[in-house]
């Protein structure tokens, strides 16, 4: 009996690639917004949206508070007494998988370049007020290498899942 195998036969379906992306990036990932009087851009955006307000004076320092509209999204508050300021932490949105946009297989190197897009989901009014282009998809690309036990992210890309997602989401604006 003669058994023939093809060592160069590698394949990666869209569904398998989707699973790799979701697992590698630990999707969906939750993102929060912190606001204090030192972050003027965020402070102004949330104040204009009616989600926070300031109380106090310029010289004595003011504190930041959530309005009734903002309170449902408030996760926590930290007070830094030494500096006389407080920091509010709000739920903003989650980043999740959207779709596979392309797969290129390199049979010689046993690699697959996977192109995909990410989207924001569960967007709160905080996320809408602070994130530009929140409804736009973000495109990413990862390279996986085929091993006997399956596909693995190439070692030169070994960053934490949160770092990869942040780079894809915010470096493209």
Helix (H), strand (E) at residue 145: strand 138-147
Is pLDDT above 90 for 5? Answer: no
Cα dihedral 123, 129, 132, 135, rounded to 10, equals: 30
Q: How many residues comprise the chain?
A: 173
- Residue 155 per-residue DSSP state: G
Please say whether the beta carbons of 37 and 62 come within 8 A. yes
What is the pTM (predicted TM-score) of this model? 0.85
Please say whether the beta carbons of 95 and 116 come within 8 A. no
Is pLDDT above 70 for 57? Answer: no
Average pLDDT for 108-128: 97
Q: What share of the chain is helix, strand, coil (3-state, %, to 5)?
A: 25, 40, 35
pLDDT confidence tier of residue 94, bands split at 50, 70 and 90: very high
Domain boundaries, the chain: 14-30+94-170, 34-90
Residue 103 is predicted with a pLDDT of 97
Average pLDDT for 82-107: 91
């Amino acid at each position: 009996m003669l058994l023939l195998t093809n060592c160069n036969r590698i394949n990666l379906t869209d569904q398998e690639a989707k699973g790799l992306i979701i697992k590698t990036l630990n999707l969906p990932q939750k993102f929060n917004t912190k606001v204090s009087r030192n972050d003027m851009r965020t402070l102004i955006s949330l104040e204009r949206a009616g989600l926070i307000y300031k109380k106090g004076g310029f010289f004595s320092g003011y504190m930041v508070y959530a309005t009734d509209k903002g309170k449902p999204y408030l996760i926590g508050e930290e007070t830094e007494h030494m500096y006389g300021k407080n920091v509010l932490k709000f739920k903003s949105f989650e980043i999740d998988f959207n779709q596979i946009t392309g797969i290129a297989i390199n049979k010689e190197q046993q690699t697959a370049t996977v192109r995909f897009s990410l989207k924001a989901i569960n967007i709160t009014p905080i996320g809408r007020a602070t994130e530009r282009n929140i409804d736009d998809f973000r495109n990413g690309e990862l390279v996986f290498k085929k091993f006997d036990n399956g596909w693995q992210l190439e070692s030169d890309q070994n960053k934490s899942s949160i770092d990869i997602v942040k780079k894809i989401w915010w470096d493209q604006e």
